[in-house]
Structure 1
């Protein structure tokens, strides 16, 4: 019987990965249309390391500003408050992940490499399908497997047993099935619950919670979840330098009638993603 509930794990991890108070203060200011850019910049400056991560990401191909973003005030002016909000969240979670205990089952470098690919590809897909969602699905892709990282760092034995079970009985157990058998919940449910615990936007919580089961996502969030779901599979192909869909986790066939993107188009994006992913990975190395 599973000994750890999702609620207990979220509570424990929420303390370990507590988002700094400055992040909450900045997000409140960004939500206030009357707040001044200079005030936002001054509050964010209380966490210089976070500022560096935010500016590095702001200048990456993921956001592709027309001019260099060299300050928080300039980021507000050139990117807008919605984009800056996503950058702050991404930077805060990236910082927080470094506080997880070191472990070898899912090293941070491997985790962020896949996450960066998923983020870049999700944005490229959104550019084709719904450009207004580009920033949201970029962040959804970057964080989609956060629950998996937490499982391997906080419940490594159970996570490893689930991994071995899915490898040994692939026809009977998907990786998520195996996690639920071992723990009573899977990494997507855990990631979504943690995002809710942090008070992240509902659309982002949905991207984490439903990225393996996009057709069960609430209708209002189904398209961004579909894009992250598709990007996750494409990211695996990009990492393997493969164009064979059988080499990656399966795409839910029910998504294709809901989007205009075709499978061949997804494969054509992989080379473009490979040129951008290093810049996104670099946000974790602000030196």
Structure 2
């Protein structure tokens, strides 16, 4: 317990390389203005769907993506939806927010591959898979808001993109280590080369992007959510379990995942049994692939 409290007390402290790396790069350091506007509108109880529409129609790519999503079999509405107004009503504000952020993040993950062993597009595939699995776990367990949990899953590994773009040569070295040394975890290689892990790079990014604190918790503790106080564990645990499920069905780049088994304590927190989740990933494979296509995969 003392160790956990120390970690939380020091949560405001980041190694210098984390802050320097974030401010060194341009295409990830600023979440597009439209995504920020939509986040602010969703958080404002006095905002209206008309406020949201005015923001969306000024971004043709986002408008097209929203219409593509609302007309997909993922939602299964009986009639074609042709207006942004109707799409907002049917999808809801949180889903619109997720689409806006997802389409923004997808551009971040469109980078050149690192040798033969790492393609950022594969990491995006994994992130979408984790988002879908986490959302379904949220629905199954009745814990967390499914839309918030989806977004948390989508951004859980964003710190890797900060590392890669700000410290390219060092990242090539990290990929080389994890490719050669199967017993070395991704996080161990990060510590060895950079002195910090993707959780810290990602947590700092969430803070700079003004995401709510629980997203920073997810990104910072998704490998070890039990280090958080009980009141802050639910969404990080959902994402942790989803991370393992996505890796077990081999969706995208999953070398970052350190175990194939789910801690019984995690399942207990979610009020789920192993049998509840063991086939979940496979059953969601089609949904994962569809979501990947819809979000610009």
Calculate the TM-score normalised by the size of structure 1: 0.82
The match for 1:262 is 273
**Correspondent of 2:133 among 108, 111, 121:** 121
Q: Shift of residue 61 of structure 1?
A: 6.3
Q: Shift of residue 174 of structure 1?
A: 2.8
The match for 1:226 is 237
| Contact 2:206–2:216, Cα closer than 8 Å, also in 1 | yes
**Correspondent of 2:289 among 275, 278, 283:** 278
1:38 matched to 2:47: no
Distance in 2, Cα, partners of 1:236 & 1:89:
23
Distance in 2, Cα, partners of 1:54 & 1:202:
27
SS in 2 for 1:33: coil
Distance in 1, Cα, partners of 2:203 & 2:75:
25
1:73 matched to 2:62: no
Matched ranges for 1:122-137 at <5 A: 122-130=134-142, 132-137=144-149
The match for 2:246 is 235
SS in 1 for 2:19: helix
Pair 178,249 (structure 1): closer, same or farther in 2 beyond 3 Å = farther
The match for 2:186 is 175
Pair 57,206 (structure 1): closer, same or farther in 2 beyond 3 Å = farther
The match for 1:185 is 196
Distance in 2, Cα, partners of 1:144 & 1:62:
23
Pair 282,249 (structure 1): closer, same or farther in 2 beyond 3 Å = same
Q: Shift of residue 24 of structure 1?
A: 2.3
Q: Shift of residue 205 of structure 1?
A: 2.1
**More helix by proportion, 1 or 2?**
1
Pair 247,214 (structure 1): closer, same or farther in 2 beyond 3 Å = closer
Calculate the TM-score normalised by the size of structure 2: 0.80
**Correspondent of 2:225 among 211, 214, 217:** 214
Q: Shift of residue 224 of structure 1?
A: 0.9
The match for 2:254 is none
Q: Which runs of 5+ in 2 are unaligned?
A: 1-14, 252-256
Q: Shift of residue 187 of structure 1?
A: 1.0
Q: Shift of residue 124 of structure 1?
A: 1.3
The CA deviation string for residues 188-242 of structure 1, in whole angstroms up to 9 with x for no partner, is: 22112111111112222222221111112343331111111011111011127xx
| Contact 2:164–2:171, Cα closer than 8 Å, also in 1 | yes
**Correspondent of 1:158 among 146, 170, 183:** 170
The match for 1:139 is 151
1:16 matched to 2:27: yes
Pair 270,22 (structure 1): closer, same or farther in 2 beyond 3 Å = closer
Alignment length (residue pairs): 277
1:197 matched to 2:205: no
Distance in 2, Cα, partners of 1:167 & 1:269:
29
Task: Give the alignment's Cα RMSD to 1 decimal.
Answer: 3.1
Distance in 2, Cα, partners of 1:154 & 1:9:
5
Pair 69,179 (structure 1): closer, same or farther in 2 beyond 3 Å = farther
